[in-house]
Amino acid sequence: MNRNVIVTCAITGSGDSVGKHPAIPVTPAEIATAVIESAKAGAAIAHIHVREPDTGKYSRRPELFREVVDRIRQSDTDIVLNLTTGMGGDLFLGPDDDPLSFRDNTDCVGQLERMQHVEQLLPEICSMDCGSFNYDEGAYVYISTPGMLRLGAQRLQEIGVKPELEVFDLGHLSFAKKLIAEGLVDAPPLFQICLGIRWGADADTRNFLTLVDQLPQGSNWAGFGVGAMEMPMVAQAVLLGGNIRVGLEDNLYLERGVFASNAQLVEKAINIIQLLGGEAQTPAEARQTLGLRVAA
């Protein structure tokens, strides 16, 4: 069991949740405010996506990330920043008789272009999805190839940003371990175990334990489940010795039929941690635990 738990809040994500929740953070001001509120509630890390302010659709524009980060830093809020690099891997194939006629919502660019905002803003952490996989749509494949990942990991080493190795299944974990063996990820490695995203590993105890048992010795790790499995996986992660993630990227509800805010989800998770006999780490403690450099 982990009695000193790092809490990450995933603020807004990239999914189509804007029409499903009355207060999904969309604008840079809204996202930054949600980060600050989550920090006050006890989160040590904020995992940040951005959205187009006029449509709420996901975005990877560096200027939107810059506005969010500048607002947080100017507020003097102490929280570790973890910026996504997951945008730019969306491949929507054409019909079966012409699969290379990619659909209009395809947005698939190279790894370094996906990391432009990280290069510019130098957060302490950025996420790195450790493999390609199918999403829950017939023609949608998320692309993250071995070559892209090696290139990205090498560049992150050069600029001093720690990759959060996001694994959705055992194959992703196997490749992440290969990156470590090749010297492309500095010790101690940081993993995020992502459960319940179709078609990755389901959010259940046996899958969670299997993935944790395969982690390299000395790793730092967190885990999460989506939807109704968010809070059960909070308890499971703590009992398995890890850290946790909650937030509106992963789950919209505080309880059945009651919409949540990011801060409320953090508070509920910390209550679970405390009921299990643990405490939440501060951002300063999390930096020391994870071996982070101080952000620029």
CATH number at residue 141: 3.20.20.70
User: What pTM did the predictor assign?
Assistant: 0.95
| The predicted structure's pLDDT at residue 294 | 65
Q: What is the pLDDT of residues 2-31, one digit of tens each?
A: 999 999 999 999 888 998 999 999 999 999
Q: Which domain holds residue 238?
A: 4-290
Mean pLDDT of 159-170: 97
pLDDT surpasses 80 at 293 = no
Domain presence at residue 296: no
Q: What is the mean pLDDT of residues 140-148?
A: 95
Q: Is residue 295 part of a domain?
A: no
For residue range 225-234, list pLDDT tens digits in order: 999 999 999 9
Residue 15: its pLDDT value, please? Answer: 87
pLDDT tens digits, 68-111: 999 999 999 999 999 999 999 999 999 999 989 988 888 999 99
Please state which of the ranges 131-140, 168-177, 263-272 shows the lowest mean pLDDT: 131-140
Q: Model confidence at 55, in pLDDT bands (50, 70, 90)? A: very high
Each residue of 103-132: pLDDT tens digit? 888 899 999 999 999 999 999 999 999 999
Amino acid 105: pLDDT: 87
Q: What domain count does the chain have?
A: 1
Write out pLDDT tens, residues 228-270. 999 999 999 999 999 999 999 999 999 999 999 999 999 999 9
Q: How confident is the model at residue 135 (pLDDT cuts 50, 70, 90)?
A: confident
CA torsion, points 286, 29, 109, 169, in degrees to nearest 10?
40
The whole-number pLDDT of residue 164 equals: 98
